[in-house]
Structure 1
Amino acid sequence: MTTTNNSRLDVIDALRGFAIVSIMLLHNIEHFDFYFAPGGLPDWLKAVDKVIWDSLFFLFGGKSYAIFALLFGMTFYIQYHNREVRGEDFRARFAWRLVLLLGFGLLNSMFYHGDILSIYAVLGFALIPVVRLSSRWVLTIAIVLLLQPYAWIEFIQALPNPDQKLGDPASWAYFGIANDYFANGSATQVWWGNLTNGKIGVIRWSWENGRIFQIPALFMLGMLAGRKGVFKEGNQAFWRKTLLIALLAFIPFYLLKTWPEAWGIGQAVSRPLLTIVTSWSNVAFMVVLVSTFYLLFYSQAWLAIFSPLGRMSLTSYMVQSIVGTSIYYGFGLGMYKYTGASFALAIGIVLALVQRQFSVWWLARHPQGPLETVWHRLTWIGGASLIHAKN
């Protein structure tokens, strides 16, 4: 088993920071899940908005959170291995760490119901029973999960009546309710609505779109990446091969998911198949992004600009939820009424630059971000170690 020599890898910090920025940009053009197109825009600006929307979703939609999931598993492996070499078992402490993450996630969910921290916290428990399995078994389990077993069950069940008309996905009703308090609710109404109605809607949406299976699979693949040490410098040959395979897989998956009407099959069978193909397409392109980033990182020094954000990813993610919803929702500045994708992207870029500068300033004075420090100290409460974490 190959391991990393250091508990922190610069490329991981930079890649995590890259994911944070891409999430920031997507959340802004979405108005933080408040989908609203302002009226009165000139045709040329609508055209520009559409290009920006389509481009950002092509590049990052369904991929940024997947990068995060992969790196979550990678970080778990580093933490587990660092304790293992000291003769300690990290599993119980990791379980407590996940409980703490759930707390952060629920707090974040008050502001942004699309929060991923709470979902990662719950699904992260899947790593505990597999961490001592052989890599072959872990890979097998991850592949089974990536195959989207429940969607295949739905597909098989639909075969006797493939043309059956299906109703809207259950999550849509919750999101429809959310739009009302996003626009007209007070801050407390938004926070309560997000924790109740919104959270249920997001969980249902995650189930409907296969992410409940995909996320733990990516955790496990990240853990395997840690075991194999593939993110260490000198693995360019591995990542070039991985990039080629991912590209070859992505092209047919993308074509299939983009034009499902060309399949010529009924809605009852096409909906679960579309879930499967979309999931595979997103994972394939996520691997394209990760491979490309790795291959460029060691030759393009400027990519290290993402590292400070990556080292403060928990703080950065939660702050963008608080600030972003205050900008776009009705209880705040209500900018959803005025900003199409172009202006929202500009706001997102400014916020990302400010967050990055704050991260640089903070890390020049502290070894960790503020929420990272709280998470670390609470993780090791009652333990022998309260030293600052390196990962």
Structure 2
Amino acid sequence: MTKDNQQIVQPSERIYILDILRGFAVFGILAVNIMAFSLPNHDFSQMIINSESPKWYDQLALWFNEYFTEGKFYIIFSFLFGLGFSVQLSRAEAKGSNILSFYPRRLLILLGFGILHSFFWWGDVLRIYALLGFVLLAFRKLSNQWLLVLAALCFVLSGLVTAFPAVFGEGSGAPSDSILKSILFGLTHMGPFVMGMFFLGRIAGQIKVFEKLRQYKDLLPKIIIFGLIISVGLRVIVSVFTTKPGGIETHLKGLSDMALAAVYVSALSLLSLRENMAKYLNPMGYVGRMALTNYIVQTIICVGFFRIFDLEGKVNAGLLLLMTLMIYGFQLLYSRWWLRRFKYGPMEWFWRSFTYGKMQSFRLK
């Protein structure tokens, strides 16, 4: 076995809370994306409520989406991407492998997945993650202090992009955009914030927060309380002091989303330390171990369903939330069934095999 192949992560080496967090994020991504999947051409501008007076359950679903899912879960995924890179780098160094021998190829394969996926879903984020992953790779030797400075600069730049979108180039990120145009738009308008979360994830990986989670047990409740205060406070400020949508409102909402994402991560981490609660989180871990597969499967299920049955633009928010719960429930079941028989999800196996240039063993013995 070569040094490159020694870098392959075995199931026993996994940090399981990270799988739980990924699995939780998969649910949130579906809850947001299904709103677009249900529309003609996946165009949010065509969002309507098919009633002059929306039903209470449609209002509840829209409220739930706005305050609890929209904008929160790509933050978590971005943080976990940077954290995952940090874990892979430390394992490669411990085993005497050079991360440059396989990680660029890993990113290029992810870019390929993203480009293919974008033919079905214009809002694909894999392309952005793959390209920004090269930036993360370039800064892999920086200290935590410098990474924190870069993260802060990224968030400042993100705020400027949000406040002055026209200054940073034309584009809409709309379904009608070409693949290249949508990538450029994503890098410009989403890239700075995503990169900032990559750096924060890298810092968390270097200080091994999730590998030493019990040491931070007393800190987690404080993050939860502080995060809730910030998130709710910023939302109140937006509601009271902003009269029309604009860059400042969007930026404040983004900060609120970031605070609530920290609450989610901290709450799940705290629950995972309690044996009586951890068993209820384990099913999400199966979904998280197949996060790439499940992300793409969500697109296949939703796009196929709405197009085959000609339901685009005809399903209200309440039913979409119910469908989200049903699809995610299905993913909980098949992910567990699959991983009791195979080492990796289908897309994960393909990704690993081409990353390391060798077909990986697939079935569990």
Shorter-normalised TM range:
0.7 to 0.9
Mapped partners of 2:105, 2:183: distance in 1: 24
Mapped partners of 2:219, 2:149: distance in 1: 20
1:80 equivalent to 2:74? Answer no
2:160 equivalent in structure 1: 151
Mapped partners of 1:348, 1:198: distance in 2: 27
Q: Equivalent of 2:303, from 325, 341, 351?
A: 325
Residue 42 of structure 1, CA deviation:
7.9
Mapped partners of 1:204, 1:337: distance in 2: 26
What secondary structure is seen at the aligned counterpart in 1 of 2:13? coil
After superposition, residues 354-365 of structure 1 pair within 5 angstroms as 354-365=330-341
1:25 equivalent to 2:38? Answer no
1:233-270, Cα deviation, whole Å (9 max, x unpaired): 412122223223323332333233345535xxxx9xx8
1:230 equivalent in structure 2: 209
After superposition, residues 324-363 of structure 1 pair within 5 angstroms as 324-329=302-307, 332-363=308-339
Contact 2:128 2:186 in 1 (8 A): no
Q: Equivalent of 1:279, from 211, 232, 254?
A: 254
Amino acid at match of 2:119: M
2:134 equivalent in structure 1: 125
1:177-203, Cα deviation, whole Å (9 max, x unpaired): x4xxxxxxxxxxxxxx6xx53663475
Residue 144 of structure 1, CA deviation:
1.4
Contact 2:49 2:316 in 1 (8 A): no
Contact 1:21 1:352 in 2 (8 A): yes
1:64 equivalent in structure 2: 73
Residue 129 of structure 1, CA deviation:
2.1
Q: Equivalent of 1:91, from 100, 112, 117?
A: 100
1:256 equivalent to 2:237? Answer yes
Mapped partners of 1:152, 1:103: distance in 2: 27
Mapped partners of 2:95, 2:290: distance in 1: 26
Distance 1:347-1:386 versus aligned 2 partners, 3 A rule: closer
1:142-180, Cα deviation, whole Å (9 max, x unpaired): 11112236617966xx9xxxxxxx89x9545x63xx4xx
Distance 1:29-1:149 versus aligned 2 partners, 3 A rule: closer
2:4 equivalent in structure 1: none
What secondary structure is seen at the aligned counterpart in 1 of 2:280? helix
Contact 1:142 1:221 in 2 (8 A): yes
Residue 206 of structure 1, CA deviation:
6.4
After superposition, residues 1-391 of structure 1 pair within 5 angstroms as 7-31=13-37, 33-35=42-44, 36=46, 41=51, 43=53, 45=55, 47-148=56-157, 151=160, 170-172=170-172, 175=174, 178=175, 197=178, 200-201=181-182, 203-204=184-185, 207-208=188-189, 211-232=190-211, 233-234=213-214, 235-259=216-240, 261-262=242-243, 271-299=246-274, 300=277, 301-329=279-307, 332-381=308-357
1:264-284, Cα deviation, whole Å (9 max, x unpaired): xxx9xx844334323322211
Question: Which stretch of the first structure deviates more once superposed, 60-69 or 237-246?
Answer: 237-246
Residue 339 of structure 1, CA deviation:
1.1
Q: TM-score, normalised by structure 2?
A: 0.84
Mapped partners of 2:180, 2:300: distance in 1: 16
Contact 1:260 1:274 in 2 (8 A): no
RMSD (Å) for aligned C-alpha atoms: 2.9
Gap regions ≥5 residues in structure 2: 1-11
Mapped partners of 2:156, 2:130: distance in 1: 22
Contact 2:22 2:287 in 1 (8 A): yes
Amino acid at match of 2:227: A
Distance 1:26-1:271 versus aligned 2 partners, 3 A rule: closer
Contact 1:142 1:220 in 2 (8 A): yes
Mapped partners of 1:240, 1:31: distance in 2: 36
Residue 374 of structure 1, CA deviation:
0.6
Mapped partners of 1:375, 1:198: distance in 2: 22
Amino acid at match of 1:139: L
**Number of residue pairs aligned between Structure 1 and Structure 2:** 341
